[in-house]
Chain A
Amino acid sequence: MPVSAGYVAREATTNLWRNRLMTVAAVLTVAVSLALVGSALLLKQGATNATSQWQNGVNVRVWVDPNASPAQFTAIGTQLGQNPLVKSCIPRSQAYDYNEAKRTVAADEFNATTQADYPSSYACVLTNPSDATAVVQQFTGKPGIFGIPSSPTAQIRTMQSVIHILQWVFLSVAVVLLLSASVLILNTIRMAIFARRREVSVMKLVGATNWFIRLPFMVEGLVQGLLGSAVAVLVVLSLYWGIGLNTTKTVTNQSSLIAQMSMGAWEVAATCILVAFVGIVVGVAGSALAVRRFLDV
């Protein structure tokens, strides 16, 4: 038997309005917990973006002059390999650097360049990351070397550890809050079921199907979850714009941490979709539990 959408919407709205204080409490709890989840995800994404150039413990990049001969390229590799401060060195082609730039450089800057503009390079892991300055000094000015940026090791490390801790704090608080949000939603639905027990008993008596009876209550939970995640999405978006995570990374602002962490619109969109999804899951789970437990159909 088809359950009319209008009927379900009407019943769910009536229930929500009748129980509006509980509804507000449930929605706010969902919103706060999901805002934390969203922020944690945003931070994690930012940290990943900021360190993408320096993955796998790479501390120093030695960029070889694009005009250097293959022999010079090999010679530089040998010198780096023999240096006691350097643990290992991986040679990277122009194509690799070009592709990396695609990820790390702003689109308009990137589009103005071609692969030929990128030098090939060596990505070096040092035995001790604090020796980066020494390595840079030893190799700067040597023939065939274009430039040696070193990773802002200390800065990145601090940022990484702070973000790591924040992420776990946010996520664990969020999990506790999400649990309490589910319980709040469950309780709201329980009260709605209790308020409508006469209707429900008559509905059972005259042969309404189980889903016909359940659906308005389930939708009520779903709406609470959705409202909560809508608020959380607003928080995530204002965080995104508020601290300038939408900044386009350019050569001039590359040293800024926020610019390093900046991300594209689709990454934020993915975070928002995830937040909305978790909200729906929490709402449906809470109401499903209430319906199972308290609606004896």
Chain B
Amino acid sequence: MITFQNVTKTYKGSTVALRDCSIEIDKGEFVFLVGPSGSGKTTFIRLLLREEMPTSGRIWEAGKEIGHLSKWRVPYLRRNIGCVFQDFRLLPNRTVFENVAFALEVIGRPKHVIASQVPQVLDLVGLTKKSGNLPGELSGGEQQRVAVARAFVNRPLILLADEPTGNLDPTTSLGIMRLLDRINRTGTTVVVATHDAGMVDQMRRRVVELDHGTKVRDQARGVYGLDSAVAAAGAGSPTGTMVEAAPAPVSAARAGGGVPTSRMARTRNGNGNGNRNGNRNRNRNVGS
């Protein structure tokens, strides 16, 4: 799904943000991108959004080499990528519903699609009751849920999150992580850049560590850093399966819950793989 091949990114003033970085992320994976500030995490995300171009090396994403993508195709690439940020980036003068609907509106989706998709995804993130509220009336965690809903409403192949819990307290962060995990289980590839050590340690997912732009670690079912690794080993990794064991309060897309599979099938088929059955399975997994 995502391939970095010897990618180097140098900004003006010869700041090296990524150095000869090669990473392979498969479809459906959940990857934590960790490292201190300035280690190149955000650059990694920006390269995937094609807000930046690599100085050297090649990047494949959703089956396309994005270095060869002409400028007018970039919006179509981004329709396959959802993105969540630390600062939520919601529109303050629009309600929760309108914020999520906006993402579909501006890519020209018809009204009836918006009317069916938005309530569904709001149900998934557990904000059905707040759909008429303005972002300013919500807590930080709720606002981030809206941002996740907006990123996911178009059923992207890839969901990127740049410090999604950076502004949130640990309990709220856990809720967001559960949400991302649930989205991951629908088959969406999820990449989370974070320095929230506790979260990474609890989730025990693949961890890619960057330091000064260089990949220093790529570990399946990893932890945040060396200290955490020691701590986790000492404590016998008590929370390793916490997420899987957590109850799912949201019943978004139960089987037969009216998930518009045709729309999803179109997206998947457009990328050459996937079929209706696969999509139905994905949907059933949501919130199960």
Residue B166 lies at the interface, judged by CB distance under 8 Å to chain A: no
Are B89 and A206 in contact, with the CB atoms below 8 A? no
Given A202-B106, A207-B77, A208-B75, output 10 extra A-B contacts at Cβ < 8 Å: A1-B107, A7-B105, A198-B89, A199-B91, A202-B89, A207-B78, A207-B107, A210-B71, A210-B72, A212-B106
From 49 to 86 in chain B, residues with beta carbon under 8 angstroms from any chain A beta carbon are 49, 71-72, 75-79, 81, 83
**In the bound complex, CA of A7 to CA of B71 (Å):** 24
From 204 to 224 in chain A, residues with beta carbon under 8 angstroms from any chain B beta carbon are 204-210, 212-213
Known contacts: A1-B107, A2-B108, A3-B108. The answer to whether A206 contacts B91 by CB under 8 A is no
> 5 nearest interchain CB pairs?
A207-B78, A207-B79, A208-B106, A206-B103, A207-B75
Residue B9 lies at the interface, judged by CB distance under 8 Å to chain A: no
Q: Smallest CB–CB gap between B160 and chain A, Å? A: 10
**In the bound complex, CA of A2 to CA of B78 (Å):** 18
Residue B131 lies at the interface, judged by CB distance under 8 Å to chain A: no
Task: Chain B residues near A140: list those with CB within 8 A.
Answer: none
Task: Chain A residues near B49: list those with CB within 8 A.
Answer: 205
**In the bound complex, CA of A3 to CA of B75 (Å):** 14
Known contacts: A4-B108, A198-B91. The answer to whether A206 contacts B79 by CB under 8 A is yes
Are B108 and A205 in contact, with the CB atoms below 8 A? no
Which of B81, B105, B106, B107 counts the most A-chain CB atoms under 10 A from its CB? B106
Which of B81, B102, B108 counts the most A-chain CB atoms under 10 A from its CB? B108
Q: Smallest CB–CB gap between A297 and chain B, Å? A: 9
Q: Smallest CB–CB gap between A170 and chain B, Å? A: 43
From 229 to 279 in chain B, residues with beta carbon under 8 angstroms from any chain A beta carbon are none
Task: Chain A residues near B3: list those with CB within 8 A.
Answer: none
The DSSP consensus for interface residues of chain A is helix
Residue A201 lies at the interface, judged by CB distance under 8 Å to chain B: yes
B interface residues, Cβ below 8 angstroms from A = 49, 71-72, 75-79, 81, 83, 89, 91-92, 102-103, 105-108, 150-151, 154
Q: Nearest chain-A residue to B99 (Cβ)?
A: A202
Are B89 and A210 in contact, with the CB atoms below 8 A? no
**In the bound complex, CA of A128 to CA of B138 (Å):** 91
Which of A201, A203, A209, A210 counts the most B-chain CB atoms under 10 A from its CB? A209
**In the bound complex, CA of A202 to CA of B93 (Å):** 14
Q: Smallest CB–CB gap between B33 and chain A, Å? A: 19
18 example contacts (A-B, Cβ-Cβ < 8 A) are as follows: A1-B107, A1-B108, A4-B108, A198-B92, A199-B102, A201-B89, A202-B102, A203-B106, A205-B89, A206-B78, A206-B102, A206-B107, A206-B151, A206-B154, A208-B106, A209-B76, A210-B72, A212-B106
Q: Smallest CB–CB gap between B169 and chain A, Å? A: 25
**In the bound complex, CA of A2 to CA of B108 (Å):** 7
**In the bound complex, CA of A29 to CA of B162 (Å):** 47
From 158 to 216 in chain A, residues with beta carbon under 8 angstroms from any chain B beta carbon are 198-199, 201-210, 212-213
From 3 to 49 in chain A, residues with beta carbon under 8 angstroms from any chain B beta carbon are 3-4, 7
Task: Chain B residues near A206: list those with CB within 8 A.
Answer: 78-79, 102-103, 106-107, 150-151, 154
Q: Nearest chain-B residue to A208 (Cβ)?
A: B106
From 27 to 82 in chain A, residues with beta carbon under 8 angstroms from any chain B beta carbon are none
Q: Nearest chain-B residue to A199 (Cβ)?
A: B91
Q: Smallest CB–CB gap between A117 and chain B, Å? A: 68
Neighbour of B107 across the interface among A199, A201, A208, A210, CB < 8 A: A208
**In the bound complex, CA of A204 to CA of B102 (Å):** 12
Q: Nearest chain-A residue to B79 (Cβ)?
A: A207
Task: Chain B residues near A202: list those with CB within 8 A.
Answer: 89, 91, 102-103, 106, 150
Known contacts: A205-B83, A206-B79. The answer to whether A212 contacts B89 by CB under 8 A is no
Neighbour of B75 across the interface among A2, A198, A201, A209, CB < 8 A: A209
**In the bound complex, CA of A209 to CA of B74 (Å):** 8
Q: Smallest CB–CB gap between B92 and chain A, Å? A: 8
Task: Chain B residues near A7: list those with CB within 8 A.
Answer: 105
Q: Nearest chain-A residue to B154 (Cβ)?
A: A206
